[in-house]
Each structure stands twice: as C-alpha cells, then as structure tokens.
Amino acid sequence: MEQNQPIAMPRLGEAAPAFTAVTTQGVINFPSDYKGQWKILFSHPADFTPVCTSEFMTFGHLAADFEALNCQLVGLSVDGLQSHIAWLRTIEEKIDWHGYKNVEIKFPLVVDVSMEVAHKYGMIQPGESSTEAVRAVFFVDPEDKIRTIMYYPLSLGRNFDEIKRVLIGLQTVDNFGVALPADWRPGDEVIVPPATTCRVASERASGKEANLHCYDWFFCTKQISKEEVEEKLGK
C-alpha cells in the first residue's frame, strides 16, 4: 500500500471489513467465522510493551464475562506470530499485575506485519505513529455491522468498565427497543421511543401513560431492572 494512498476508515452501521489472517489460535476469517456473535476487534501498538501487557491481562481476566455476553474477542498488532506467542507465554508464566497472574490468553491475536488489516480499519494514524497501531476498539454486531468505535492514543490504557458497559448497552438497545441515557448502567431507567402523534405526546405530557416517567413530552423513561437485562442478555 502506498504511503500517500487515502484510507477509507469504516463507519458506524457499515459492514465490518472482512479479512483472513494468521493468529495465535490459527487462521481466522473475520467477521464471518463469528456470524451470530458479537465481536470486539481491538488493536494494540506492540508486543512486550507495558501498557499493552496490562490491557491483555485485563482482557484475559474478563474473557469469561465477554463469552457470557456472546462476544468474541479478537486482538491485533503489527508484530509477527513468534513475537505474539512469546509475549503471551511471558504474560501467563511471569507477570503478576494488579492481582492478575497466570493469565492465559485464549482469544486470537492477529498477525498483521503487513499492516493490511490495520489500514482497513484505520488503526494506523500517522499523527500518533506510522509503524504501530493505535488502541482502537470496534464493536461488531451479530449481523457483522460496526456499532461502536473507540480510539485511544498509544500512551493511554483503555477503560474496560466502559468497554463492557458499551457492549451490554448495545445489546440492551437491541433486545428492548430503547435508547440509553448518559452514564446508563444495568438497572437504571431507559429512554422509550419518542411520541409519534400529538395524542401520545399530550398523554405523556399530562402523565397519563402508565409506567413512564416523563420529563417532558419528548423525553420519557421507564424502569428495566438489572435482573431483566441480565436474563435477556443470557448472563
């Protein structure tokens, strides 16, 4: 790929760019191998670096939580296969950090020495580095559409509470047909679809529609318990 060739970065609602790649778990075809599952594709700058090590240990520690949410993790960096394997072995056998130790990374880590996949996903951002991928996170739904994108710089580790919150939030939106307010967590009130007729708007404004809390005719919420969310999401 020529250095000056423009990169069409993927956008929300579009199909996740497909690729076939060697990984630490064998060859994968992304996203087709995981059709019907949620996918989180995330990049990191380099193996054997401290911030990335802390992130992989956290992802490994939380892997069962993502699996319970029908979500496949897929990591990526521009390092080679032997480097990946050696680094993951070091994490499992030698690193004790933040109460995490003996962390086995079972999800695939993509080999992308050519940076082909990184370019497809806009992970190479020259303002940060032209040789390393930034910390990108792509949430891909069971229909293989991109639903959320996060970018972090090289020097800042990701917020894993937020990554889980976004995944649960997207699944809640899909399963309950609602929207979610700022700082939503399971068990908080959710936003119901807006009124589509003057009659419904009047009923909501006057407080006549049962089980809703209306701040005004266009902004109404209802309660969905944490237990309801967890049951629907299969946790």
Which residues are known catalytic residues?
52
Residue from 146, 113, 105 nearest 21 by CA:
113
Nearest to 47 by CA among 18, 1, 86, 93: 86
In DSSP terms, 190 is beta-bridged to 222
* Cβ neighbours for 95, distance < 8 A, ≥ 6 positions apart: 53, 57, 101, 103
Residue 117 phi, psi (nearest 5)? -70, -40
Q: Are 17 and 139 in contact (CB under 8 A)?
A: no
CB 167 within 8 A of CB 66: yes
Query: What are residue 105's phi and psi, to 5 degrees?
Result: -90, 110
Owner of token pair 């003057």: 198
